A and B are shown apart, each in its own frame.
Chain A
Amino acid sequence: MNQKYMVPLAGVLLLFLLAYAGVEGAGMQWFFGIIVPYVAVIAFIGGFVHRVMGWADSAVPFRIPTTCGQQKSLPWIKHSCIDNPDKASGVFIRMVLEIFLFRSLFRNTKAAFNRNEKNTLTYSWEIFLWLGALAFHYSFLVVIIRHLRFVMDPVPSCLKFLEFFDGIIQLGLPGLFISGAVLLLAALFLLARRVFDAKVSYISLAADYFPLFLIIGIAASGIAMRYFTKVDIIGIKTFTMGLVTFHPVIPDGVGGLFYAHIFMVSALLAYFPVSKLMHMGGIFLSPTRNMANNNRAKRHINPWNYAVDIHTYEQYEDHFREKMIDAGLPVDKKE
Chain B
Amino acid sequence: MSDEIKPDELLDKVDHTPSQGSWMTEAVHIRPSMYCYAAKAESVETLGLPNARSWNPLEADWKLPENWQEIIHNGIKERLEKFRSFKIFMDVCVRCGACADKCHFFLGTGDPKNMPVLRAELLRSVYRNDFTTVGKLLQKIPGGSKLGGARPLTLDVLKEWWYYFFQCTECRRCSVFCPYGIDTAEITIMGRELLNLIGLNIDWIATPVSNCYKTGNHLGIQPHAFKDMMDFFTEDIEEITGIDVAPQFNKKGADILFITPSGDVFADPGTYTCQGYMLLFKYLKDKYDLDVTWSTYASEGGNFGFFTSHETMKRLNAKMYAEAKRLGVKWILGGECGHMWRVINQYMDTMNGPADFLEEPVNPITGTKFENAKSTKMVHICEFTADLIKHGKLELDKSRNADRIMTFHDSCNPARGMGLIDEPRYIIENVCDNFYEMPSNTIREQTFCCGSGAGLNAGENIELRMAGGLPRANAVKYVHEKFGVNTLGTICAIDRAALPALMEYWVPDVEVYGIHELVGNALIMPGEGERETDLRMEPLPGKEAADE
| Residues of A that sit less than 8 Å from B by CB | 3-4, 7-8, 51, 54-64, 66-74, 76-78, 80, 83-84, 86, 98, 102, 104-105, 107-111, 113, 115, 119-121, 123, 129, 133, 193, 197-200, 202-208, 274-276, 278-279, 282-283, 285-289, 293-302, 304-305, 308-313, 316-317, 319-320, 323-324, 326-330, 332
Contacts and interface: CB of A to CB of B under 8 A. Distances in A.
A244 to B, nearest CB: 28
Q: Which of B97, B222, B345, B470 is the most central at the interface, judged by chain A CB atoms within 10 Å of its CB?
A: B97
B421 A295 contact: no
B137 to A, nearest CB: 9
9 contacts: A3-B146, A55-B84, A105-B177, A107-B176, A120-B478, A203-B118, A208-B95, A293-B418, A327-B227
A214 to B, nearest CB: 14
A330 B251 contact: yes
Given A67-B415, A74-B368, A105-B177, 12 more contacts: A72-B372, A111-B16, A111-B101, A115-B11, A133-B96, A205-B149, A276-B95, A289-B180, A296-B372, A299-B349, A313-B322, A330-B250
Given A71-B418, A73-B420, A286-B181, A316 B216 contact: yes
B323 interface: yes
Nearest to A323: B224
Q: Which of A63, A67, A78 is the most central at the interface, judged by chain B CB atoms within 10 Å of its CB?
A: A67
A66 B349 contact: no
B372 A73 contact: yes
B426 interface: yes
Contacts of A78: 422
Contacts of B371: 72, 297
B181 A275 contact: no
Contact of A296 (B179, B228, B344, B368): B344
B409 to A, nearest CB: 15
Given A59-B82, A121-B471, A297-B375, A311 B213 contact: yes
Interface stretch (B383-391, B509-517, B538-546): B383-391
Interface in B162-219: 172, 175-183, 186, 213-216
Given A274-B133, A282-B180, A329-B224, A71 B95 contact: no
A133 B83 contact: no
Interface of B: 11-12, 14, 16-19, 23, 48, 80-88, 91-98, 100-102, 107, 112, 115, 117-118, 121, 132-134, 143, 146-149, 172, 175-183, 186, 213-216, 222-224, 227-228, 249-252, 296-297, 310-311, 314-315, 318-319, 322-323, 326, 344-347, 349-351, 353-354, 368, 370-376, 378, 383, 386-387, 390, 415-423, 426, 439, 441-442, 444-446, 470-471, 474-475, 478
Q: Which of B215, B251, B318, B445 is the most central at the interface, judged by chain A CB atoms within 10 Å of its CB?
A: B445
Contact of B322 (A70, A110, A115, A310): A310
A42 to B, nearest CB: 16
B474 A288 contact: no
A74 B214 CA distance: 37
Nearest to A207: B148
B315 A309 contact: yes
A105 B98 contact: yes
Contact of A326 (B216, B224, B370): B224
A70 to B, nearest CB: 5
Contacts, number: 324
Contacts of A59: 81-84
A188 to B, nearest CB: 16
B373 A297 contact: yes
B84 A113 contact: no
A328 B87 CA distance: 52
A54 B415 CA distance: 32
A68 B94 contact: no
A64 B376 contact: no
A17 to B, nearest CB: 20
B12 A312 contact: no
Given A295-B345, A297-B374, A105 B179 contact: yes
Given A121-B107, A310-B322, A109 B441 contact: yes
A58 B318 contact: no
B252 A330 contact: yes
Nearest to A317: B297
Nearest to B19: A202
A313 B297 CA distance: 7
A60 B83 CA distance: 6
Given A59-B84, A296-B378, A311-B214, A206 B147 contact: yes
A304 B296 CA distance: 31
A135 B315 CA distance: 49
Contacts of A98: 179, 181
